[in-house]
Structure 1
Amino acid sequence: MDIVLRATAVFFMLFLLLRLFGKRQLGQMTPFEFVSLVVVGDFVQQAVTHNDYSVTGAALAIGTFGFWALILGWLGFRSKRVRDLLDGEPRVLVRHGEIQRAMLERDKIPVDELFSEMRLAGIASLKQVDWAILETNGKISFIPAKEDHNSPQQ
C-alpha cells in the first residue's frame, strides 16, 4: 500500500511539473532538457519504489500511474472543465496580423520562434497571418489572412 500512496503523490507532482513546463516547452526540448527528464525518471523510480526492486513493487507503481492516467483521461473526456484543466486551452498568438506579446510571454515563446514556425508553414510575412493559435498539443496553427479583393490583381 505504501508504494501505491507514493506513486499517487509522485504522479500528481509530475503532473504539476509538466503543466509548469508549458505546452510549447515539451514539444521543443533541448538535449539538456531531455537528459534532465530521464534523470527525473530515475528520481521518480527511487521515490516510488524506495528499496523495493520486486516485480510486484514495479507492477504496483506502474498500475498506479496507469490508473490515475486512465481516471484523468476519462474525467477529461466527460467534462470540458476537467479537460481544460488537464490540457489547457488554445491560445491566440497572432490576432489579425498583430502579435499578442502577452501570450508569447505566458508560454515562453520567443518571437523568433514564432517567425520560424511561420516559415516552416510556408508563410513569409506576418501580413499573411490572420490568426496564429498555440494548440493544446503544443503545435502552432496558422490561419492565413484573406486576400483583399478590392486591390488590383497581379
Structure 2
Amino acid sequence: MPVLNSIFDLSVPPLEIVLRGSATYIALLVMMRVVGQREAGGLGITDVLLVVLVAQAAAVGLHGNASSVTDGAVLVLTILFWSVVFDAVSYRWPRLGRLIKPQPRPLIRGGELDQRVLRRELMSREEVSAQLRLHGVEDPAEVERAFIEPNGLISIVRRDHGEPDGPAAPDLTR
C-alpha cells in the first residue's frame, strides 16, 4: 500500500503549485495578447492557452518522478480557476474584457487596407490577398469591411453585401 499513497500524496506544497500555475497562466495570457491575433489560428487565444496548460499540468501527475496525481490535479484546478475568472471578468466588465480578450481588428475599410493593423499583426498584402481569395474575393476594392477576428480568421463584408464564399473545404470524395 505505500506505493498507492505515494501516487496521491502531495510532493510539493499546494500554495507553491497554485502560485506557479497562476503566474504561468497570467504570464502566458499576457504574452499571447502581445503576439497578436493571427497566431491563434482557428481557436481563441484563451482556448489555446487552456488546452496547452491543462495538458502540461495533467502530464505532471502522469510522471512517476517527484510529482503525484494530486499535484497535477491541484495545478489543473488552478488553471481552470483562472480561465473561468478571466471569462467571468470579461463578461461582467466589458471594458476590462477588452484588455483580457482580443477584439476584431479592421483590416479593410471601404476597400482600403489598414496598414497600421497589417503592421501590428505582421501580415503582408499577399497574405491578406490569399485570405480574400479563399472567400471568393479577387480585389480588396470589392470589400466594404474585413476584420481579423479574435480567433485569427478573417471575416469579410462585401460592398455589394453579397455573401462571400467561405474557405473551401477539402474534397474528401476522392
Match of 2:137, SS state, is coil
Paired residues of 2:110 and 2:145 also in contact (CA < 8 A): yes
How many pairs were matched up? Answer: 131
Letter in 2 for 1:74: A
Which stretches of structure 1, 4 residues or longer, exceed 6 Å deviation after superposition?
none
Match of 1:94, SS state, is strand
Summarize deviations over 1:11-40 as a string: whole Å, max 9, x none. 111111211221101218xxxxxxxxx7xx
Q: Is residue 54 of structure 1 aligned with residue 77 of structure 2?
A: no
Task: Pick from 136, 145, 149 the counterpart of residue 131 of structure 1.
Answer: 145
1: CA distance, partners of 2:37 / 2:30: 13
Q: Is residue 73 of structure 1 aligned with residue 87 of structure 2?
A: yes
Question: Alpha-carbon deviation of 1:42?
Answer: 5.9
Paired residues of 2:40 and 2:151 also in contact (CA < 8 A): no
Summarize deviations over 1:49-73 as a string: whole Å, max 9, x none. xx74101110111000000101111
Question: Any residues of structure 2 matched to 1:15-30 within 5 Å, and which?
Answer: 15-27=29-41
Compute the TM-score of the two structures, normalised by the length of structure 2.
0.68
Q: Percent identity?
A: 31
Cα RMSD of the aligned pairs, angstroms, is 2.2
Match of 1:109, SS state, is coil
Partner of 1:90: 104
2: CA distance, partners of 1:83 / 1:138: 18
Compute the TM-score of the two structures, normalised by the length of structure 1.
0.77
Task: Pick from 101, 118, 125 the counterpart of residue 115 of structure 2.
Answer: 101
Summarize deviations over 1:65-91 as a string: whole Å, max 9, x none. 000101111111111112211222211
